[in-house]
Structure 1
Amino acid sequence: MGGTLPPGDRRREADGPHGVRRPPGPRERRRRHRRRRDARRPVLDRRRADDGRQQPRLQRVRSARRHRGRRLPVHRLGDRTRDGQPDARPPHRRRLGGPRLREPRLPTGRGTWNNCFGTVSPWNTPLSSEEYEPDAKAWFEPDEQTYGNREATMADYLGYFGNAYRYGYVVEITEPFAESPTPEKRFAMGRFSHENAVVMPDNKTVYMSDDGTGVVLGKFVADRARDLSSGTLYAASLTQDDGTDPASVGFDVEWVELGHATDAEVESWVAEYDGQDPSDDYDPDYITDEEVEAWANGNNPYDDQRIPFLETRKAAGALGATDEFRKMEGVNVRPNAHVGDYVYVAMSEINESMLANEDAPESDPEDDIRLERNDYGALYRMPIEGGFDVRRIEPAVVGSEDSFWQLDNVVVMDDGRVIVGEDSDHETNQLWVYDPADN
């Protein structure tokens, strides 16, 4: 039978009766030829810069395109329903659904805040991240001049004043396929603006990125494999190579130990700050900058190790770790990575705190990072050494006017290629693929 196929019939117009595929016509053959031709093109194109140097440019990933014989599923979430019709519902009424959807609930009932990029641990537990932790001083001080928009938004979101120290952690979803999955805040992994955390194949070492301006690169080493409830927390200290070009200058990395703790210990310290309300006439209780400095100088004002776990970024900077990254985004590694592979981390912008003091809006005492400005950002890589340690960070590819702008999320595929997503006002604002074999 000829004519238009009825609605819901999954056969293509090119199919013959009973779903038997007809030989491809000239148009279909040309389309297949273009697909094979595109698949043979290198993932990392190169363009000549004004000075004659070749500049890497990431290839755009197109929806449902075959790439070197493999299909990359790229989906756009937008204003259309499942059948492709425009979605007339307002954005706040659009929800995921289905029999497999579960909404994990924290045992404390206090919820999570501003969950950002996530990964899955080698033992298949999702790791979410509480980004943009509320500043404790701005939160607890009754002076409204220090009460920032982020803190006001959070109070409105929670519906009550709350405790700033309960937010800003990695959240692990234990037993994710159970009828009632259980989110567990990993307090021992430190409190800062977690973009995401990625666990190495040793099931103990975790690298953590901190999103914002003047932020740190973190590492956590668990006491036991597949158990993130206790361990030692570190922050990176960088020594820059000669030069200032973001496309070529790397850094040596040393790890500054901040402290050891368990989730239970940290949560007990957090609980001491519950119950405060600036509407009452009270003296705000929080960890002050002076207390952080005293702790770093060996004069801990507390009889415990709460400071590096509740004010991780401030504690790291006070001990000499590099707190100058801008603007750190996703960190990831390929499954089954080993020595010689790379941990990748995106920097959506290289400006402000990553500039030399004379060019930066605010100066930093150490001035560890002194790069030229690049508002398009870069993808960095860190070679994996023994024990899943990293001692080096170097640029893999940097953004430019005619390539990517401001990379955010990072996924490393089994074959080592890296999928990165833009989060910008770029006219494309899309996914890109970086192939280290072509660099």
Structure 2
Amino acid sequence: MRRVALSLIAGAVTLALTACNGDDGKQGEIGSQGPVGEAGVDGSKGVNGSDGTNGSDGTNGVDGKNGGSGLTRLATVPAGAEVTGIFLSDGGDLFFNVQHPSDTNTAKDSVNDKIIDRGTVGVLRGVNFNNLPRNIINSPVPESEFERQTVIAALGEYQILGQTGDTYTELGDSGLAGGLGVHYGINNNQKIIENNNPDFNGYIAAGENEGYLFTNWESYPGGVSRLKMSKSAEGAWSVTDAMMINFDAVKGTAANCFGSISPWGTPLTSEEWIVNSTVNSTTDASWNDPSDTGTDGMEALVAPDFPNPYRYGYIAEIQKPMTDAPEVVKHYTIGRYEHENSVVMPDRRTVYSSQDDTGGVLFKFIADQPEDLSAGTLYGAKLTQDAGLNEPTVTGFDVQWVELASGSNVDIETWIAQYDGINTSDYVAGKTSYLSLADVQAWADGKATYPSEAEGGSPVTAGKPMDNRAAFLESRQAAKMKGATAEWRKLEGISINHDRVLEAITGQDVIANEVVTKAYMYIGISDLDKTMVDDEGDIQLSRRVKDCGGVYRAHIDSSYSLTRIEPVIMGGTYRSSLTGAERCDVEQLSQPDNVIVMRDGRIIIGEDGFQENNTLWMYDPQSK
């Protein structure tokens, strides 16, 4: 813009006209002031101008998107450990564990002044993960020995809440005399194992800044701890009571892996590697083989009795979680297999559960009544791969559901009890004392009776009228024989954000400042190999990603059914010519295990991979 400056010069100039250089005359006297004239009439008031019209509001800006892969490294865990127990509370507290760190770690972290050489339960304090910006800076890849042996976080401080063996003696009678993660036998109360494998965490609020943290301990036998805790105004946590949940009423529990909190506020804990659902045999052909010591931990649990395998491998619900003696029930209705975890939809009836094994199945259970998982119908997922595609990063699957059977805990328990008396003296080489493949096939074929022993049937059911026990006691084989896809490889954690799904399905305004129109369940796959890349069956992917793994999402329709599964983010190219951490790129996913979904749609992913220091990642779907 051109600008013109105007200068006004005011001055008084007196011109004196004199002849030659004569002196000036004397100044005359000042005359007297004349009379003041009459005041003039006031002018009329001017008319007010009209107000200008308000300008229109500007449109809201679009959120910025992360560039690159959309991955942010939130934290790394010490050498030898995997990231487990990711849980985001309603208050924005992010819990996660350090599972089986190296016992050679010697560095004391600067926050807790502790060495992380045992199983460790903790929380990132000082930050609300329900209110994060989208431009978080990565935590560094560890370089020094101190960084390799401690938790390094991009946000907040990792506060240790407990480690394997902690007794909390400062709490007196509220302490844990046996130690955190310690398990006992049922009949003799003898200490069996001190467990370095804390897995799932679930926090249930009991008031403002106080509540109960439930943690799974993955071992033979398994267990669940409960820490009562409170949080200060500065964000620091204090443990005020500690206990291990008593599972005697359900004859103990085994290999408690991941889990979830139901919409009605009860922990659902998963029994995983107690079952061995191999591709070509039934689960328990060698369970009571006296030369097979694979069940020693379970034998000690119920000594002097021999354990019945059909009492393990389920979802257990802690139905009264915050009483002095929490009540526990195992839901046989959801099926028996290597449960990683289950998640309940907002209808409070539909449950999805993942099988962490080679040749696994994605299962669905629909309860007869809301908030009651004791009776309902079990289904297995049948996948159809996108035609002409096999690249893991772009290949999706349409989903149909194969009905297996309906049942109740009461009815299934009567079938389970028929195997209670079997022990090693009943073992016959080459045969099974439990359900056989021939038994499951006869059920799948709709036969009226079980086959005889001569026809490959098992002793307990030989020649008897057919029932639905195969669907609930040998669920993987039953699903496979009914046509469900039994080809997942290490189908790990599954997760939803309850409020996002509820808003997408019902239209209820439960997510502030956001309209959610599509709902997804996220699925972590640790390995994309073996049955997923064998060029057979329903899943036939390329081997490029292989053991680096990836994360899928499954679309949820208006009836809370999954209709399609598609890739979200995959690990880097698997480099089989290299060894150790180099096989999968340290800047990409390396064998993701469990996932959780944040309120704003971002997902948090924990690794169980090749890296020297496994990573806790955050992924932003808006980056795509």
User: TM tier, shorter chain?
Assistant: 0.7 to 0.9
User: What is the TM-score normalised by the length of structure 2?
Assistant: 0.56
For 2:392, which of 240, 243, 246 is the aligned residue?
A: 246
Residue 113 of structure 2 is aligned to residue 84 of structure 1: yes
Residue 534 of structure 2 is aligned to residue 334 of structure 1: no
Match of 1:325 in 2: 488
Match of 1:272 in 2: 418
Match of 2:295 in 1: 151
- Counterpart code for 2:551: L
RMSD: 2.7
Match of 1:34 in 2: none
Secondary structure of 1:295's aligned partner: helix
Query: Cα distance, 1:99 vs. partner?
Result: 4.0
Match of 1:416 in 2: 601
Match of 1:112 in 2: 253
Match of 2:199 in 1: none
Q: Deviations over 1:324-364 (max 9, x none)?
A: 0012100010022133110011111100000133xxxxxx5
Match of 2:614 in 1: 429
Give the direction of change, closer, same or farther, for the CA distance of 1:192–1:75 in structure 2 (3 Å limit): closer
For 1:93, which of 141, 151, 165 is the aligned residue?
A: 165
Taking the aligned partners of 2:529 and 2:619, their CA distance within structure 1 comes to 23
Taking the aligned partners of 1:58 and 1:74, their CA distance within structure 2 comes to 19
- The structure, 1 or 2, with the larger RCO (C-alpha pairs under 8 Å, 6+ apart) is 1
Give the direction of change, closer, same or farther, for the CA distance of 1:391–1:85 in structure 2 (3 Å limit): closer
Query: Cα distance, 1:83 vs. partner?
Result: 3.9
Q: Deviations over 1:355-385 (max 9, x none)?
A: 133xxxxxx5xx1000012211010001111
* Higher helix proportion (structure 1 or 2): 1
Match of 2:372 in 1: 227
For 1:181, which of 326, 330, 341 is the aligned residue?
A: 326
- Counterpart code for 1:321: A
Query: Cα distance, 1:425 vs. partner?
Result: 2.3
Taking the aligned partners of 1:436 and 1:425, their CA distance within structure 2 comes to 25
Taking the aligned partners of 2:427 and 2:436, their CA distance within structure 1 comes to 20
Q: Deviations over 1:173-196 (max 9, x none)?
A: 101111111121011110000000
- Counterpart code for 1:93: G
Secondary structure of 1:101's aligned partner: strand
Taking the aligned partners of 2:427 and 2:92, their CA distance within structure 1 comes to 62
Give the direction of change, closer, same or farther, for the CA distance of 1:319–1:100 in structure 2 (3 Å limit): same
Structure 2, unpaired ranges of 5+: 1-62, 77-90, 120-162, 167-178, 181-226, 228-238, 277-282, 451-464, 506-517, 573-584
Query: Cα distance, 1:435 vs. partner?
Result: 1.5
Q: For 1:242-391, what aligned pairs fall within 5 Å after superposition?
A: 242-279=388-425, 285-300=433-448, 301=450, 302-336=465-499, 337=501, 338-339=504-505, 340-357=518-535, 367-373=537-543, 374=545, 375-391=547-563
Query: Cα distance, 1:295 vs. partner?
Result: 1.0
Taking the aligned partners of 2:95 and 2:340, their CA distance within structure 1 comes to 22
Query: Cα distance, 1:84 vs. partner?
Result: 1.7
Do the aligned residues in 2 keep the contact of 1:134 with 1:150 (CA within 8 Å)? no
Taking the aligned partners of 1:221 and 1:109, their CA distance within structure 2 comes to 23
Residue 73 of structure 2 is aligned to residue 60 of structure 1: yes
Query: Cα distance, 1:151 vs. partner?
Result: 3.3
Count how many residue pairs are aligned between Structure 1 and Structure 2: 373
Give the direction of change, closer, same or farther, for the CA distance of 1:227–1:42 in structure 2 (3 Å limit): same
Give the direction of change, closer, same or farther, for the CA distance of 1:74–1:171 in structure 2 (3 Å limit): closer
Secondary structure of 1:265's aligned partner: helix
Do the aligned residues in 1 keep the contact of 2:340 with 2:356 (CA within 8 Å)? yes
Deviates more, 1:75-84 or 1:409-418: 75-84
Q: Deviations over 1:291-328 (max 9, x none)?
A: 11111111152432111000000000001100000121
Query: Cα distance, 1:434 vs. partner?
Result: 1.5
Do the aligned residues in 1 keep the contact of 2:254 with 2:272 (CA within 8 Å)? yes
Q: Deviations over 1:136-160 (max 9, x none)?
A: 433445474xx4x643454355545
Do the aligned residues in 1 keep the contact of 2:245 with 2:326 (CA within 8 Å)? yes
Taking the aligned partners of 2:612 and 2:70, their CA distance within structure 1 comes to 16
Percent identity for Structure 1 against Structure 2:
39
Query: Cα distance, 1:423 vs. partner?
Result: 0.7
Taking the aligned partners of 2:617 and 2:427, their CA distance within structure 1 comes to 54
For 2:343, which of 194, 198, 202 is the aligned residue?
A: 198
Do the aligned residues in 1 keep the contact of 2:557 with 2:563 (CA within 8 Å)? yes
Taking the aligned partners of 1:272 and 1:88, their CA distance within structure 2 comes to 44
Secondary structure of 1:270's aligned partner: helix
Do the aligned residues in 1 keep the contact of 2:250 with 2:328 (CA within 8 Å)? no
Do the aligned residues in 2 keep the contact of 1:102 with 1:179 (CA within 8 Å)? no
Structure 1, unpaired ranges of 5+: 1-39, 47-55, 64-69, 358-363
Give the direction of change, closer, same or farther, for the CA distance of 1:85–1:377 in structure 2 (3 Å limit): closer
Secondary structure of 1:404's aligned partner: coil
Secondary structure of 2:405's aligned partner: strand
Secondary structure of 1:165's aligned partner: helix
User: What is the TM-score normalised by the length of structure 1?
Assistant: 0.78
- Counterpart code for 2:368: D
Taking the aligned partners of 1:220 and 1:408, their CA distance within structure 2 comes to 23
Taking the aligned partners of 1:259 and 1:213, their CA distance within structure 2 comes to 23
Residue 209 of structure 2 is aligned to residue 137 of structure 1: no
Deviates more, 1:113-122 or 1:409-418: 409-418
Taking the aligned partners of 2:532 and 2:598, their CA distance within structure 1 comes to 29
Taking the aligned partners of 1:140 and 1:317, their CA distance within structure 2 comes to 22
Taking the aligned partners of 1:124 and 1:60, their CA distance within structure 2 comes to 31
Do the aligned residues in 1 keep the contact of 2:287 with 2:295 (CA within 8 Å)? no
- Counterpart code for 1:377: G
Residue 392 of structure 2 is aligned to residue 214 of structure 1: no
